Amino acid sequence: MMTSSLASEGKTTTISNIATIMTEQDKKILIIDLDLRKPAVHKQFNLSNNTGLTDLLLKKDDYKNYTKQVYPKLDVITSGKVPANPSEIVNSKALQDVIKELSFHYDYIFIDAPPIIAVSDPITIAKFSDAVILTIAYSNTEKELAKKAIDSLRSVNANIIGTILNKVPITKENKYYYSYY
Ligand SMILES: Nc1ncnc2c1ncn2[C@@H]1O[C@H](COP(=O)(O)OP(=O)(O)O)[C@@H](O)[C@H]1O
Ligand SMILES: [Mg+2]
């Protein structure tokens, strides 16, 4: 799963990029939008969000009716209509059952989650995720806030496999690292 301390640190952008790049390793990948308060994965891939995860959980029919293929090895389940009770969905057994089923059909499932400081959803999601990646926006997120987010994740034994420092400005000094040579 992907999370961050605050909103707009770049979770959706980064998770979409990583998932896309990983398809080059011939892995079958699924992105699920579980940021139900601010769903945005559909925008990254120009998909309709008329139906998605919330419909799959309600109707309990074939998951394939709700996956959208964006590349040969990359599928997306958009959020679907945003419910009045996002936390109920995130805490539901139905969600865990669906993710368990999906795990048999994909090599990796990337979950786009809400930011940690805002709501408890990401901590719930961390409990059933194999690994957590934390995006931190350069010069935006106070250290204390990032530490707090990490502490919350550790309190549920989340497996933090890495952090991404995002939005680093390209200056004269560090330009070299971004150039092709
Ligand atoms: N590395 C980056 N450089 C510049 N802008 C970025 C970068 N990553 C994300 N953004 C922009 O920041 C905004 C928030 O990104 P988004 O991925 O939607 O964040 P989140 O999912 O954490 O709310 C978007 O407008 C996005 O285009
Ligand atoms: Mg987002």
- Ligand 1 pocket residue status of 73, Cβ below 6 Å: no
The pLDDT, as a whole number, for residue 112 is 98
Counting ligands in written order, the one closest to the CA of 166 is 1
Confidence (pLDDT) at 108: 98
Task: Please report the atom of ligand 1 found closest to the CA of residue 38.
Answer: 23
CA-proximal residue: ligand 1, atom 1 (nearest): 167
Nearest to 33 by CA among 91, 75, 85, 84: 75
Return the ligand number nearest the Cα of 14: 1
CB 82 less than 6 A from any atom of ligand 1: no
The percent of the chain in helix, strand and coil, each rounded to the nearest 5, is: 40, 20, 45
Model pLDDT, residue 177 = 64
CATH classification at residue 168: 3.40.50.300
Q: How confident is residue 176, by pLDDT bands cut at 50, 70 and 90?
A: low
User: Does the pLDDT at position 173 exceed 80?
Assistant: no
The span from the CA of 41 to the CA of 124, in Å, is: 20
Tens of pLDDT, residues 40-76: 999 999 999 999 999 999 998 899 999 999 999 999 9
Q: Which of 69-73, 88-92, 170-174, 176-180 has the lowest mean pLDDT?
A: 176-180
Q: Report whether residue 9 contacts ligand 1, using a CB cutoff of 6 Å.
A: yes
Evaluate if residue 180 carries a pLDDT over 70. Answer: no
Mean pLDDT for the stretch of residues 1-30: 96
Instruction: Check if 166 has its Cβ closer than 6 Å to any atom of ligand 1.
Output: yes
Measure the CA–CA gap between 159 and 60, rounded to whole angstroms. Answer: 30
Residues 134 and 108: their CA atoms lie apart, in Å, by: 17
Pocket of ligand 1, candidates 13, 135, 145: which has the most ligand atoms within 8 Å of its Cβ, to mutate?
13
Higher pLDDT, residue 174 or 110: 110
Residue that the structure tokens 């994740």 belong to? 153
The domain containing residue 53 runs over which residues? 2-178
The Å distance, Cα 105 to ligand 1 centre, comes to 29
Number of compact structural domains in the chain? 1
| 178 pLDDT higher than 80 | no
pLDDT at 167: 95
Ligand 1: nearest atom to the Cα of 8: 23
Mean pLDDT of the chain: 94
Whether the per-residue pLDDT at 1 is higher than 90: the answer is: yes
